[in-house]
Structure 1
Amino acid sequence: MLIDANLVAAAKRSMDFLPRGEAIEARRLNAVIRAPVKFLKKPQIDLAKGADRELIVAALALTADDDPRAAVGFWKGGLSEAFPAEDHSSVWLILAMNGAYRHVPEALDWFGEAGNVALTDEQLAWRARIALRAEKWAEVRSSIERMSPLAKNDPAWIYWYGRAERELGSPLEAEGYFERIAGEHHFYGRLAAEELGVSLRIPSRAPLPTEEEIAEVAAIPGLKRALALYRVDMRTEATKEWLWTIRGMDDRRLLAAAELARRNEAWDRAISTADRTVLAHNFYVRYLAPYREVLAEKARARDLDEPWVLGLVRQESRFITGAKSAAGATGLMQVMRPTARWVAQRMRMRNFSWTRLSDPEFNAAVGTYYLKHVLNQSDGSPVLAAAAYNAGPTRARLWRGTAPVEGAIFAETIPFGETRDYVKKVMANTVYYAAVLGITPTPLKTRLGTVTPRRSAEGVVAMQGEPVVR
């Protein structure tokens, strides 16, 4: 299980806690980790021993991580016959999950090979996702039906269950599912509303907080401490203090706190605090656009859609010019140093310096240049380009598959949870920014479009000189 979860170091350490005779020798485990396919071709083991069978499972998991079909070939080529029947299901699930992550259509059949064992919500989610890729709607529906009550009430699975019902000839039942989430302001809420023919309308702006309400929240010790910490650039500590303090606030106090943050140019806190309101809203704070003039100018220069650029920046940095990620991404558009150097060379910039990445204009120039580059490489698909911007172009090209994929299905089947969430939020942000800015609305489903198949050999080798961004 640890090997399958890519926790190789933990798998090695776990051997120290097993009784003598059950632990796998470090030498043999290392040999499997270094060359799992070589091990599977000539496994010098005794399959009557549990430890040796564990080595086979580890090698299969590692092989499936790179080539699920090859792993299945080894398993069906005689190895399965040496395993007890009760072990077959767990091995098939390892193979099926790896196949689903890599969008191998046969993975749906591999889930079937596991038999009638109870699947976890995560396994059922990936069974549903690979069924979505194959447009096998009955399997999508059955996967969601088997989820726990908590999982099946996630907006994603409410939406896809509705889609499955509609595709399977039950439009009235589908509408009932769409209606459950159509009033919610997120990716699947918007898609559900569009299925019902409901256009996006920004909620009426609640009365602005009075000066007395703002003064009241400004006097709260926790918010005073948070703002003081922001001023000395202790953002992590400031954010924790802020989040702890606004717990349990009603909508009026949240809006007052959001306005306090906006006045202090704590853009991230203003946006996130306004995002928490339940009944009384201010979407003009929820979708703030600091540095709009700079970003709009750079977007126009690169022929990029302004709401899309703002939606991406909102997700990347919440408009904090000094934002830095653990990986080293910096500034409004969270540009990595290798990316900045690559863009600077392409643009023939003079006096390039890393320190300029915190400058809004420079960061926007570099970020929009790179965003346009990945959009061009994505055949103009904003959903694919957003995935490429977050996870890297090579990964995004691999995720395109060999057949056209509906944009919403592409987003839901992205293997990386962080990138999957990122793409959904960027695309939802885009439609809300367009509405807030009074730009002619384009439905979310239209923006998502269709992701075309990758071309031959695309995604196998990164383009020469292309930067690694995440």
Structure 2
Amino acid sequence: MTLKKTLRHRLLSIMAAAALPWAGLLAPVAAQPLTDADRALLDMRQAFAKNNSAQLRAALPQVLGHPLEPLAAYWELKARLETASPDEIRAFLNRYAGTYYEDRLRNDWLLLLGKAANWPLFLEELPRFRMNDDREVQCYALLAQRDRQGADAAQQVRSLWLAQKKADDGCAAAAQYWLQTRALPAETAWHRARWAMEYNQPAVASQAVGMLDPAWVSLVNTIHTNPERYLDEKVTAIRTRTKELVTLALIRLAVRDPQAAAEEADKLRWRTQLTTEEQSWVWGVIGKRLALRLSDEALAAFAKAQNRHLNDDHLGWRARAALRAGAWEQVEAAIAAMSASQQAEPVWTYWLGRALQARNTPDSRKQATALYQRIAGAAGFYEQLALEALGQTITLPLAPMPLTAAETQAARDNPGLQRALKAIQVGLRSEGVREWNYSVALHTPGGMGERELLAAADLACKHEVWDRCINTSTRTQNEVDHAQRFPMPFKDAVIKRAREINLDPAYVYGLIRQESRFIMDARSHVGASGL
């Protein structure tokens, strides 16, 4: 049994022993009875899921005046957005101005306008888009203004396109344009296809390669289905296209069977015909897959790749494999090859410090100390490890000043937070969570300030929406309220039952927090449900 399976088995056993006898004690706070309008709203969600425009239109009058009317009106219009007139859409935007659903519909409309290349309307509406967090809209914006873009536009498109997880229209259209102008090199499309093969996204791989030549799409599909056959039938890889297709096949094979991929990649014909960059990418995937299996052969696979050709994800797994083996020189080399942004993450800052410390020279020890000092603090796990490495005591930051009456009242009066709580109360949890997150992070540029976040978290705590309480409170950087971040609902019942079964209550709370964030209807990856 693998370590991962063993941990899952133990976790499930503990949760079964600890949680099931508490079912009666930990029942959620009694919900308010649903009104007719609440029930109509729940029916509308089902109709929206089925794209039943007629049912949505018929039900909408029943929820007029309801706190969640903006949501109901959004569902009704979104279901027929492709045929709605600009005047009708603007009427919705004006009526529900300032709400999450106004900006949500604007996002949807911008995607339609971009797909239709209706650039005048698109550019007119774009500045009003408050969330501005949709990569596809950002790609359309670059495409809409392509004649006025500078030399860095192609690089912006590259970053956005490579970050997209699915095959979309906006970033694909922008990438296609800049590929045709040759401002974006063909290797960008191949890199996207490589990522897609590694993450089992055949539609993404086909879309990317199809931009270079539609005739190659069938080959990509064949590779995804049966990479072994494609590799067996290939002897030479002289042309760039063939080299890249062989690389895709080796990546796909590595995902399915890293041992077989290692044997294949080590064959003379691929070692002599693929470029160093192509081979490094393949060995990066093989090394990662072996590392995920806790295989001792992971480091040997990574050793056949050059760090300068590995992406941040593969470098991270090379560093992890080296840590597991105690190979500090390789840890240092892998982290040093990462991008500046990834190196700056506390986890890698700390481990680079440890690697330098292991070198044990006066200069390396001095460098390690400087790295620890850069991140040391009580904010996170690696920050605390850095404190310990410096010989300092981990202490909790001072609790923030109590919220004022004005601050708590402002949170209670926030219409977005109120709608979010109402949605959760009637059973529309996902919709409520989205509006809550929008209200605290995206409604205004930069999101809420720290005191506003504490007040919003306090509001969630008082309504026993513990996951939003925790999530909102952890957004603060300087004012840290541990009572919000680590709440203890049902304290008496938890402590009593934990002692009965000889478990540390702190461990039980940590387990519940990790698995469900105290969401009553949560379901974990090991099958446990409830708290």
Could you tell me the TM-score, scaled by structure 1's length? 0.61
Please state how far the C-alpha of 1:321 moved relative to its aligned partner. Answer: 1.2
2:499–2:505 Cα contact (<8 Å) kept: yes
Give the Cα separation in 1 of the matches to 2:479 and 2:212. Answer: 57
Which of 480, 483, 489 is residue 284 of structure 1 equivalent to? 483
Is residue 2:399 matched to residue 1:205? yes
Aligned to 1:83: 273
1:227 to 421, 426, 451: 421
Instruction: Measure how far apart 1:157 and its partner are.
Output: 0.6
Greater Cα shift, 164-173 or 149-158? 164-173
Aligned residue in 2 for 1:309: 508
- Assess if the C-alpha contact under 8 Å between 2:474 and 2:485 holds in 1: yes
Distance 1:19 1:127, change over 3 A: same
Contact 1:127 1:140 (8 Å CA) reproduced: yes
Shift of 1:135: 1.1
User: CA 1:335 to 1:146, structure 2 compared with 1: closer, same or farther past 3 Å?
Assistant: closer
Please, which runs of 5 or more residues in structure 1 have no aligned partner? 324-328, 341-356, 364-470
* Residue identity opposite 2:236 in structure 1: L
Separation in 2 of the partners of 1:104 and 1:22?
35
Give, in angstroms, the shift of residue 16 of structure 1.
Answer: 6.2
Equivalent in the alignment of 1:186: 380
Partner of 2:36: none
Taking the aligned partners of 1:172 and 1:107, their CA distance within structure 2 comes to 31
> Equivalent of 1:148, from 334, 339, 345?
339
Say whether the 8 Å CA contact 2:223–2:230 is kept in structure 1. no
Aligned partners of 1:138 and 1:164 also within 8 Å: yes
**Aligned in 2, Cα 1:217/1:135: closer, same or farther, shift over 3 Å?**
same
Partners of 1:165 and 1:171 within 8 A in 2? yes
Residue 161 of structure 1 deviates from its aligned partner by 0.9
Residue in 2 that maps onto 1:403: none
Q: Is the 8 A contact 1:270 1:285 kept in 2?
A: yes
Q: Which residue of 1 aligns with 2:302?
A: 111
Equivalent position to 2:286, from 95, 101, 116 = 95
2:416 maps to a residue whose letter is G
**Map 1:47-446 → 2, pairs under 5 A:** 47-48=236-237, 56-80=246-270, 83-85=273-275, 87-115=278-306, 117-169=308-360, 170-247=364-441, 248-323=447-522, 329=523, 334=524, 339=527, 358=530
CA distance in 1, matches of 2:285, 2:326: 23
Task: Note the C-alpha offset of 1:9.
Answer: 5.3
What corresponds to 1:458 in structure 2?
none
Rounded to whole Å, the distance in 2 between the matches of 1:244 and 1:193 is 35
**Structure 2 CA distance, aligned partners of 1:244 and 1:167?**
45
Asked whether the equivalents of residues 32 and 58 of structure 1 are also in contact (C-alpha less than 8 Å), the reply is no
CA contact (8 A) 1:15 1:24 kept: no
1:39 positional shift: 6.8
Segment of structure 1 superposing worse, 283-292 or 192-201: 192-201
Identity level (%): 34
Deviations 1:430-469 (A, max 9, x none): xxxxxxxxxxxxxxxxxxxxxxxxxxxxxxxxxxxxxxxx
Instruction: Give distance in 2, aligned partners of 1:253 and 1:185.
Output: 19
Specify the SS of the correspondent of 1:161: helix
> Which whole-Å deviations, capped at 9, do the CAs of 1:401-421 have from their partners, x for residues lacking one?
xxxxxxxxxxxxxxxxxxxxx
Aligned partner of 2:126 in structure 1 is: none
Deviation at 1:297, TM superposition (A): 3.6
RMSD of aligned alpha carbons: 3.1
Cα distance per residue 1:368-398 (max 9 Å; x no partner): xxxxxxxxxxxxxxxxxxxxxxxxxxxxxxx
| Alignment partners' CA distance in 2, 1:214 and 1:244 | 19
The offset of 1:289, in angstroms, is 0.9
Q: Verify the 8 A CA contact 1:32 1:55 in the aligned structure 2.
A: no
- Judged with a 3 Å threshold, the aligned counterparts in structure 2 of structure 1 residues 120 and 264 are, in CA distance, closer, same or farther, namely same
| Structure 2 segments unaligned to the other structure (5+ residues) | 1-193, 442-446
Deviation per CA, 1:108-148, whole angstroms, max 9, x where unpaired?
A: 34334334643322222222112111211111112212222
Q: Distance in 2 between matches of 1:27 and 1:262?
A: 50
Q: Which whole-Å deviations, capped at 9, do the CAs of 1:48-75 have from their partners, x for residues lacking one?
A: 5756666654443344335433322223
Distance change >3 Å, CA 232–CA 105, structure 1 → 2? same
- When structure 1 is superposed on structure 2, of 5-14 and 149-158 the one drifting more is 5-14
Which residue type is aligned with residue 155 of structure 1? P
TM-score (norm 2): 0.54
Pairwise CA distance, 1:81? 5.0
The alpha-carbon deviation at position 177 of structure 1 amounts to 1.7
The one-letter code of the counterpart of 1:309 is V
Tell me, what secondary structure is at the counterpart of 1:319? Answer: coil
Is contact 1:46-1:52 (8 Å) kept? no
Aligned partners of 1:70 and 1:322: how far apart in 2?
A: 42
**Structure with greater helix percent:** 2
Alpha-carbon contact 1:47-1:82 (below 8 Å) kept: no
Conservation of the 8 A alpha-carbon contact between 1:225 and 1:241 = yes
Task: Tell me, in whole angstroms, the C-alpha distance in 2 between the residues paired with 1:310 and 1:300.
Answer: 13
Q: Alpha-carbon deviations, 1:295-318, whole Å to 9, x = none?
A: 334433443332222122223222
